[in-house]
Amino acid sequence: MSDTGIGARVRRKEDRRFITGRANYTDDINLKNQTYGYFVRSPHAHATIDSINISQALKAPGVIAVLTGEDLAADKLGGLICGWMIHSKDGSPMKVGPHPALAQGKVRYVGDHVAIVVAKTKAQAKAAGELVRVSYGELPAVVDPADAQKSGGPPVHDLAPNNTVFEWALGDKAATDGAFARASHVTKMNIVNNRLVPNAIEPRAAIGSYDAASDHFTLYTTSQNPHVARLVISAFVGIAPENKLRVVAPDVGGGFGSKIFIYAEEVLCLWASKRIGGRPVKWTAERTESFQADAHGRDHVTEAELAMDQSGKIIGLRVKTIANMGAYLSTFASCVPTYLYATLLSGQYNIPAIYAEVDAVYTNTAPVDAYRGAGRPEATYVVERLVETAAREMKIDPAEFRRRNFITSFPHQTPVIMTYDAGDYHASLEKALGLADYKGFPARKAAAAAKGKMRGIGFSTYIEACGIAPSAAIGSLGAGVGLWESAEVRVNPVGTVEILTGSHSHGQGHETTFAQLASDRLGIPIDNVSVIHGDTDKVQFGMGTYGSRSGAVGMTAIAKALDKIEAKAKKVAAAVMEAAEGDVEFKDGSFTVKGTDKKMAFGEVALAAYVAHKFPSNEIEPGLKEGSFHDPSNFTFPAGCHICEVEIDRETGMTEIVNWVAVDDFGTIINPMIVEGQVHGGIAQGVGQALTEACVYDRESGQLLTGSYMDYCMPRAHDFPEFKLGFTETKCPSNPLGMKGCGEAGAIAAPAAVMNAVTDALGVRDLPMPASPHRVWRTIKGMRLAAE
Amino acid sequence: MPSVSLNVNGQAVSAEVEGRTLLVDFLRDHLGLTGTHVGCDTSQCGACVVHLDGKAVKSCTVFAVGCDGVEVTTIEGLARNGRLHPMQEAFQENHGLQCGFCTPGMIMAGVDLVRRRGKSLDESTIRAELDGNLCRCTGYHNIVKSIQAGAAKM
C-alpha cells in the first residue's frame, strides 16, 4: 500500500480552504445587482387563505416585487414532486396532494410558503414581509401520526380521505400469522420513532439568477444532488429546459438527507429573478426557517411483535407502522417508510416469516423525508429493541440470543425482498464484546451502584442496505429515477487527472478518497488528481450523494472509467513503442512491453495521446478521456455491532454514556481516517435522537414548539465519550472495489444501543426517545414510589 | 448612519454602518470576510466566533458600532505570512472537520480556550468548554483531538 493509495490515512486535500476561511458556501456568493428574497410563511398549521393584500408591502422602502401563489398559478408553473410511487395493498396508487411552491388557497403547516418579497436588501425584504396582510380562515389541525386517520376534521388534502397517503404491506401475512400461532414466546412492543430536525449547521440557501440576453437561468443552492434538482426544476416545475438551467451546489455545509430534496425556495428564487427582469434573488434560511421548513426525519408510530420458539429462535416478526409524511410528499418521502424500512426488518437474523404493514399519513406538519439512514434506523430500532427485550424476557443473554439467530450463510434471501450478499455477524459481535470488556460489565455495574449510579449496557447489531440498486429493480418498485452514478476521467496532456463525478461531497471527503483511488490505479501522485463535482455545467449528469452510495456506486463508476483509460492508454503506448497491444503491461504508473526494456511513464503516454503524431488517428482517436455510468447489480449490506454503556444519576436523571464500542463491516475501506469520522458523526446523530432531540408540535394547534436551538436540544461535545472503533471486513461482491458504504451506520445503530442500555440501567421494559433527564428522572421516581 | 473604526486582521477599517448591523454581517457583507459563518439566530451554534482584542466572542451577538477601536481577528487572519496557525494545522492533521461549516468557529474557540486554560488540556475540559459550539458532522471526537493537539503545539 502506498502512503496515498487505497487504505491509507491520507489527510484531506480539501481541508485548507475550510480551515482558512476560504471555502465557498452558497451564502458566501454574491452576484452583481443581487436582490434578496424573504418568505412570508404561514403562522397557522391549517387554514384557508381568504385574501392576500400586498399593497402596503409594495410601498415599503427597497421593495421590488411581492409575489404570491396567484402569480405562480398565472405563470402555469408545476408543483414540487414526489419521485417514488407506492401502491397500496388494494393496488391503488398513493394519494399525492398538489404541492405548489407558493400555497394556493390553503396553507398546510406552520412555515408553509405564502409569498416571496424581493427587495434591495435583506432587512428591507424582511421588513416588507411584515406588511403583507394575509387573511386566514383557521381549520382544525392534525399533528400526530396516530391521530391522522381518525381525526374526523378536514383532511390535509381533499383527495386523501382520512389523511391516508397509502396503506402498504410487505411479506407473507399467512406464514407470519402461522408462526405466531405456534410461538412459545411473543414479545410485543409499542415503539415510537421520534421526529427529528436534520440541522445541518449550514442553513439552506439559494441564489436564482436569470439572464434575459441568453434566456438562461443559474441556481446556486445547498444541494446534495444538483443534477436531480435541475431535472425536477426543468421537467416538472417547468422553470426552463435543462440546457437553459445551470445548477451549482458549491461547498455545502452538511446535508444528512435534508439537502437532497427540491424545495420551494430554490424554485421561487429562480422564478422571481425572471419576474423582476433578471436581477439575481438570494435567500438564506434563518435557523427558525430551517426548523419550520426543512424536511424532517423519522416520526413513526409502530406496534411490533417478535415470535420465538422455546429455544429462543426467532420464528416470526409482525409490524404495523404509521408513518408521518407531513403536509406534502417531499421528493423521496414515500420510499423511506416502505422500501428503505420494511425491507430491513430481518436485521441480521434468520427470520422465516415477516409481515409489515405501513400506513403513510398526511398531517399539518413540515414534510418528512430521508434523514441520515432513512428508514433503516427506524427498522433497526424496531428489530433491536424487540430482540433485546425478547432476550431479557426469555432470560437469555442478549449476545447469546443474537448468536442463536444470526444469519451465517450467504447469499441469504430474507422474506422481505433483500438478498444479503456477504457478512460475518458473529465476527463483529465477538470483536465488539472483546473491545467492550463485556465480561467485566457486572463488576462495573456493581462499582457504579456503590457510588449511587445505575449502570446499563445495550447492544445494537444492525444491518443496512446502501448503494440502492439496480435501477431496473427499484424502477419496478416505484422509483421514478435510476440510481446509477456517473464518472468521467479526464487525463490532461501532462498526465495530471481530473475526475468528474455525479456524486456530491458535503463533508464526506470525496476530493481526497476519489483522488486516492485514481492515484492508486494510475500510479501517479495524489496531488496530480483533482476531483470536480457539484456543477451541472461541468459534470454531465449524476445522481448525487445520499444513502451511503458515493463509495460503492460513485467510486465504482470512477474505477470503470479508469479501466477504460488504461485500455486506451495501452493502445497509444503500443503504437508509440511499436509493440503489440497485448504485450503492453501497466503497473505502478508505467507502461512496459513484455520481454523488452521499453517503458513509458503514464504522463508520456498521455502526452503522446494528445500530440497524436505516433499513431494512425483513423484507428486510435487522439486524446485521453473516458466516462462510465455504473449501475450496481445489488444493494450493499454494511453491518456491525455497537455496544453502549451508560450510567444514570438517580438524583438528576442524567444519562452519561461511559463507553461506546462500534465494530463495523464496511467491506473495503479507502481511507480509515475518513471512515472513522463518518462513524463518529453517525453515532452522535443517533445518540442525539436517543437522548436529547425531539421535534415537537403542539398536538392541538400544530404550532412548532421546537423552533430554535433554545428548544431543540442538539447534542454537544460533553454528551459523548471517546468512541472505541473496530472493523471487520467481508468484501462486497457486487462491486470491484468490495466497498459497502459507511455514512449512515452510526445513526442506524446508535438509538437502539442507547435505549437498550438505558432500559437495562433503569430495569424497565419501555421508555420513549429521547431519554431526557426529566423523563428518566420521572421513571426513577416512579420506581422508587413503587418500591416504597 | 453611525461610523465605526476598527482593526480587522491587522488592517485599519472605517465604515458607516446601520446601528443594528451585527458584527458578523459587517464582516461578511461589508468586508467580504465570509469565513465567519452564521448557523443560527440564537447565539447557540458558535459558527460565528471571532476574537475581539484576543478574546473569543460570538460575532452575531455584537453590534458592529460597538467595536470602535477594537482589534478583530477572524479565521482569515489566523494564519500569518502564509503559515497556518498550529490550531489550523491540528484540525487538518486530526480530521477535525468534515463539511467545514462549524470549523472556523471551532478553531477560533479552540485558540481562545488555550489562552484561558493553557496548553495542557484534558479531554473533559475541552468537551465542557465546547458547550457553545455545535457540530453536526464529526460527533466532536476529532474536534476534541484537534484542539488537544493544537493546544500542545501553540
Contacts with B, A 364-403, CB within 8 Å: none
3-state secondary structure A50-114: EEEECHHHHHCCCEEEEEEHHHHHHCCCCCCCCCECCECCCCCECCCCCCCCCCCCEECCCCCEE
Measured distance CA(A169)–CA(A163) in Å, rounded: 18
Tell whether A681 lies on the interface with B, counting CB pairs under 8 A: yes
Kindly report the backbone phi and psi dihedral angles of residue B94, in degrees, each rounded to the nearest multiple of 5, phi listed first.
Answer: -105, 15
Nearest CA in chain B to A508: B98
Q: Which residue's C-alpha cell is 428522572?
A: A777
| Region for residue A720 given its phi and psi (left: phi exceeds 0; alpha: psi -120 to 50; beta: otherwise) | beta
End-to-end CA distance of chain B: 41
H or E stretch at A727 = strand A724-728
Residues 82 through 121 of chain B touching chain A, CB cutoff 8 Å:
84, 88, 91-93, 95, 97-104, 107
Alpha carbon separation from A620 to A488, A610, A613 (Å, rounded)? 19, 11, 11
- Triad A497, A501, A506: Cα angle to 5°: 110
Across the interface, of B36, B127, B136, the residue whose CB is closest to A256 is B136
DSSP readout, A595-664?
A: TS--EEEHHHHHHHHHH--SS-TTTS-SS-EEEEEE--SS-B--EEEEEEEEEEETTT--EEEEEEEEEE
Mutation pick from B81, B125, B126, B136 vs chain A, by most beta carbons of A within 10 Å, is: B136
Whether residue A685 lies within 8 A of chain B, CB to CB, comes out as yes
Cα of B51 to nearest chain A Cα, Å = 14
What are the residue ranges of helices labelled H in B18-135? Answer: 23-25, 86-93, 103-117, 123-129
**A389: which 3 cell numbers?**
427485550
Q: Which of A21, A201, A722 sits opposite B123 (nearest CB)?
A: A722
Tell me if A717 and B143 make a contact (CB, 8 A cut-off).
yes
Could you tell me the three cell numbers for A232?
Answer: 425536477
For residue A765, give the nearest of A389, A396, A406 by alpha carbon: A389
Determine contact: A717 vs chain B, CB below 8 A.
Answer: yes
- Judged by a CB distance cut-off of 8 A, whether residue B38 touches chain A is yes
Residues of A in contact with B73 (CB under 8 A): none
- Please give the Cα distance from A534 to A222 (Å, whole number): 10
First to last CA, chain A: 64
Contacts of B103 in chain A (CB under 8 A): 18-19
Tally of residues, chain A = 788
Nearest to B88 by CA among A610, A67, A20, A91: A20
Give this prediction's pTM: 0.97
From the list A19, A22, A202, which residue is nearest B97 (CB)?
A19
How many residues are given for chain B? 154
Q: Do B42 and A682 touch (CB under 8 A)?
A: no
Spatial separation of the C-alpha atoms in residues B103 and B88, rounded to whole Å:
9
Quote the Cα angle for A530-A536-A537, to 5°: 80
CB contact A220 to B (< 8 Å): no
- Sign, CA torsion B119/B125/B129/B134: positive
What is the ipTM metric for this complex?
0.99
Q: Find, among B99, B6, B94, B17, the residue nearest to A18 by Cα.
A: B99
Taking phi first (over 0 means left), then psi (-120 to 50 degrees means alpha), and beta for anything else, what does residue A578 get?
Answer: left
- Per-residue pLDDT tens digits for A255-268: 999 999 999 999 99
Question: What CA–CA distance (Å, rounded) separates B132 from B124?
Answer: 15
Q: What is the mean pLDDT of residues B89-108?
A: 98
Rounded to the nearest angstrom, the minimum Cα separation between B5 and chain A is: 23
| Grid coordinates given for A600 | 513509458
Computed over its alpha carbons, how large is the radius of gyration of chain B? Answer: 15
CA distance B97 to A677: 9
Closest to A234 in 3D by CA, of A216, A255, A207 = A216
Q: Chain B residues with CB inside 8 Å of A506's CB?
A: 99
Cβ contacts of A607 within 8 Å, gap of 6 or more: A493, A494, A495
Q: Is the CB of residue B44 less than 8 Å away from at least one CB of chain A?
A: yes
| Grid coordinates of A441 | 460489565
CA B85 to chain A, closest CA, distance in angstroms equals: 9
Nearest-neighbour CA in chain A from B68: distance (Å): 23
CB pairs under 8 A between A and B: 173
User: Considering Cα of B39, then B43, then B46, then B48, what sign does the dihedral take?
Assistant: positive
Show which of residues 510-539 on chain A sit within 8 Å of chain B, judged by CB atoms. Answer: none
What residue of A is the nearest CA neighbor of B91? A19
CB contact under 8 A, B99 and A507: yes
As a whole number of angstroms, the distance between CA A385 and CA A382 comes to: 6
Residue of B8, B41, B126 to mutate, testing the A interface (most A Cβ within 10 Å of its Cβ): B41
The C-alpha cell 407470519 sits at A176
Q: Which residue intervals of A451-555 are DSSP H helices? A: 471-476, 510-522
Please choose, from the candidates A675, A651, A538, A681, the residue with its C-alpha nearest in 3D space to the C-alpha of residue A247: A538
Of B40, B98, B104, the CB nearest to A21: B104
CA-CA-CA-CA dihedral for A742, A747, A752, A756, to nearest 10? 100
Contacts of A251 in chain B (CB under 8 A): 99-100
Question: Between B45, B76, B78, which is nearest A201 by CB?
Answer: B45
Residues of chain A with pLDDT under 70: 1, 784-788
Give the number of C-alpha atoms closer than 13 A to the C-alpha of residue A436, restricted to the C-beta side: 29
Picking from A14, A17, A20, A661 by the largest number of B CB atoms within 10 A of its own CB, the best residue to mutate is A20
3-state secondary structure A116-129: EEEECCHHHHHHHH
**Portion 726-785 of A in contact with B at CB < 8 A:** 746
The A residues from 273 to 292 touching B (CB cutoff 8 Å) are 284, 286-288
**Cα torsion angle, A13, A15, A18, A20, sign:** negative
Tell whether A684 lies on the interface with B, counting CB pairs under 8 A. Answer: yes
- Using an 8 Å Cβ cutoff, are A365 and A143 in contact? yes
| Residue A92 sits at the chain B interface (C-beta within 8 Å) | no
Asked if A709 lies within 8 A of B47 by C-beta distance, the reply is no
Cα–chain center distance at A633: 21
A549 in B contact zone (CB under 8 Å): no
Q: Answer positive or negative: Cα dihedral of A365, A369, A372, A376.
A: positive
Cα distance between residue A670 and residue A168, in whole Å: 39
| Residue-wise pLDDT tens digits, A482-503 | 999 999 999 999 999 999 999 9
Q: Judge whether A317 and A305 are in contact, CB under 8 Å.
A: yes
| Furthest-apart CA atoms within chain B: distance in Å | 47
Residue A526 to residue A515: CA distance in whole angstroms: 6
β-pairing, A216-221 with A245-248?
Answer: parallel
Q: Does residue A348 contact residue A317 with C-beta atoms inside 8 Å? A: no
> Which pLDDT does position A788 carry in this prediction?
38
Q: Per the CB < 8 Å rule, is A746 touching B139?
A: yes
Starting at the edge strand found earlier in the chain, the sheet holding A63-68 runs A63-68, A113-119, A35-41, A281-284, A205-211, A216-221, A245-248
pLDDT, position A787: 43
Q: Are strands A354-362 and A314-326 parallel, antiparallel or unpaired?
A: parallel
Strands A584-587 and A529-532: unpaired
Max CA distance (Å), chain A: 94
Gap between the Cα atoms of A599 and A576, Å rounded: 10
DSSP state of A393: H
Is B71 in CB contact (< 8 Å) with chain A?
no
How many alpha carbons fall within 13 Å on the CB side of residue B74? 24
Please state, in angstroms and rounded to a whole number, the distance separating the CA atoms of residues B153 and B88. Answer: 11
What's the burial of B117, exposed, middle or buried (CB within 10 Å: 0-12/13-18/19+)? middle
Cis bond leading into A411, ω under 30°? Answer: yes
Chain B residues in contact with A25 by the CB 8 A cut-off are 34, 37, 101
Inform me whether the C-beta atom of residue B34 falls under 8 Å from chain A C-beta atoms: yes
Would you say B119 and B152 are in contact if contact means Cβ atoms under 8 Å apart?
Answer: yes
Other C-beta atoms within 10 Å of A122: how many? 18
Any A CB within 8 A of B146 CB: no
CB A6 within 8 A of CB A520: yes
Distance from CA of B97 to the nearest CA of A (A): 8
Q: Any chain B CB within 8 A of the CB of A202?
A: yes
